[in-house]
Amino acid sequence: MPSDKTRPTTPRTLIDFAQPHGDARRLRLGFGAPSRVLVARTAAEVRPVLDAVEALAREGRWCVGYLRYEAAAAFDRAFAVHAVHAVHAAEGPLAWFGVHDEALPWPEAPGDDAAPSIDWQPGISRADFDRRMQAIHRAISDGELYQLNYTAALHARFDGDAQALFMALRQAQPDGYTAFIDTGEEQVLSVSPELFFDWQGDRILTRPMKGTAPRGATPAEDEALAQRLRTVPKERAENVMIVDLIRNDLSRVARPFSVRVPRLFHTEALPTVWQMTSDVEALVREGTTLADVFGALFPCGSITGAPKVSAMRMIRELEHEARGVYCGAVGVVRPGGHATFNVPIRTVTLRNGEARCGIGSGITADARADAEWEEWHHKRAFLDRAGQASTPSFDLLETLALADGELRDAPAHLARMAAAAAHFGRPWNEETVAHCLDGLKARHAAGMWRVRLLLDAQGTPRAEAFTMEAPSARVRLQLAERPFDEAHGDFTRFKTTRRAHYEAFAPTAPGVFDTLLWNRDREITECTRGNIALLLDGRWVTPPLHCGLLNGIGRANRVHSGQLAEAVVRVDDLPRVRALAFVNSLRGWLDADLDGF
């Protein structure tokens, strides 16, 4: 329907899409108020909208929009979906496209407001999750399906600036196929890493994403996790099932014998997870339309399961609300008809003051409930990163001991800060940092000093020195009363001035030196100012990095020398611990007592 509104200063639509065929340039554009809006509110209207989108694009217009998952009913009556009006949060058109006569430059300053912190609430309890996992496993065992992509939605209240939230999400989940679409009725904030399809001329490419692993705390652990993802039979089988499904779907619009799989089991590094993708491509038959492509492929098999009809039927039974834009398709059709759509995972929708974000995973016969639950946690980490983007700015931090003009473990500290700079995308010049430290050493050539080395967002270092008293021979520790929820967060894995999550666990009893932390799985992690060593079963051990802790320099030195071995220690193991020590590079090894044990 035509729109008479004047184009606003801030674009209502933003597209930042990767070029899937290896071109480093991105499709990064803004769009104002559309000259026309195409909307489908019933299944019968979806194909005519897609036909109109294709015709207008071939006339030279830009068409940007989305299809809800529930639009699947327009392409095959066997596809079971919730009625669109079944859940208030998911109400909205089955398809929406804004038509634009021209594209605008990407905005330099898209919004003045900082992204607000959002209190996301889970849409399913762990007990319900386990019950539904059992139901899926029964269906697989009975031969009803091979795999099912099960999801649930997170919900939150939201009354902030939608475009500012999108920019924070995009910073937390960069690259990929990101889009911001404000229809006036709702806002779609998609930072999806998954390509649904790219269709240009007679060539079509799909890139299903199946297989997930967390990122490692060190480069070695990171690469080991990626290698495991590429080689574990469960992950490979899950990927191949969906590749086979999409090959079959694609054959419906492909020229005979043109469907091929040029790449299998490719791992892509995202900020919070490794994802595995495969490429499936084909040459489309002459006369194929955009509606035909959607009819063959939609919804993407990576977010349904296999076989698709059986999987979608069970999805409707298990998921008590419509998916909405999540797991549908968001994309752009360029002038001339080149169409690129994502699979809108990692996607937030805003409607009537409510924010909604779906999280899910593919369930196979050998999937375990605890592992899938943890995968959901890893996948939602981009929301936590976006929330962190709205916090006050922070500096990277290293704390070193300066003894009579010599910095203890300086190379290791600088290497760790360089790794943090790379992770947070900050400039790093080791010569500049070394020059900064040399100046401080010259001013403090005698005595013991505690040095704080800081690196700001522009890569500018500064160093501060404070008088350091001799440490106590023995210290007291207290055990945290609740789990340390940020054990696996960026601001735990890397040392920065953002320490509110640690300060919340500061000792409360007089004379207590520090607090011993533990994660949601009741695994011991570290103290708030250093690592922990424990004498357990006749050997000194320290928690491994995957429990969620800073890779302390003092800890790393002792692991490398063999003084400490890595081992998971749980809260329930503490009565068997015969001795403890607080460990860091600044203070060294301090024997410790734990209150209550």
Q: Which residues contact 431 (CB under 8 A, 6 or more apart)?
A: none
Q: Is 441 a catalytic residue?
A: no
For the beta sheet containing 514-518, the strands, ordered from the edge strand earlier in sequence to the opposite edge, are 524-527, 514-518, 474-479, 588-594, 579-584, 531-536, 539-542, 565-566
Give me the catalytic one of 54, 70, 186, 210. 210
Q: How many CB atoms lie within 10 A of CB 112?
A: 9
- 579 with 573: CB under 8 angstroms? no
Closest CA to 72 of 253, 317, 324, 302: 324
Q: What letters, b where the CB count within 10 A reaches 16 and e where it falls short, cover 357-376?
A: bbbbbbbbeebebeebebbb
Q: Quote the CA–CA distance of 330 and 189 in Å, as a whole number.
A: 10
Q: Which residues contact 231 (CB under 8 A, 6 or more apart)?
A: none
DSSP string across 300-336: PGGGTEESHHHHHHHHHHH--S--TTTTSEEEEE-TT
- 122 with 152: CB under 8 angstroms? yes
Closest CA to 494 of 397, 560, 559, 409: 397
List C-alpha distances in Å: 48 to 99, 198, 298, 331, 406.
15, 21, 16, 17, 74
Closest CA to 172 of 419, 379, 398: 379
Q: Is 194 a catalytic residue?
A: yes
List C-alpha distances in Å: 77 to 92, 343, 439.
20, 21, 74
For residue 186, the SS3 value is coil
Q: Quote the CA–CA distance of 560 and 564 in Å, as a whole number.
A: 8
Beta-bridge partner residues of 407: 402
Give me the catalytic one of 54, 194, 319, 398. 194
At 582, which helix (H) or strand (E)?
Answer: strand 579-584
Q: Quote the CA–CA distance of 295 and 280 in Å, as a whole number.
A: 17
For residue 228, the SS3 value is helix
Q: Quote the CA–CA distance of 180 and 189 in Å, as a whole number.
A: 5
List C-alpha distances in Å: 469 to 321, 403, 447, 454, 583.
60, 12, 10, 22, 17
At 417, which helix (H) or strand (E)?
Answer: helix 410-424
- 310 with 144: CB under 8 angstroms? yes
Q: Which residues contact 167 (CB under 8 A, 6 or more apart)?
A: 110, 111, 115
Q: Quote the CA–CA distance of 319 and 6 in Å, as a whole number.
A: 41
At 243, which helix (H) or strand (E)?
Answer: helix 233-250
Catalytic residues, by residue number, are: 194, 210
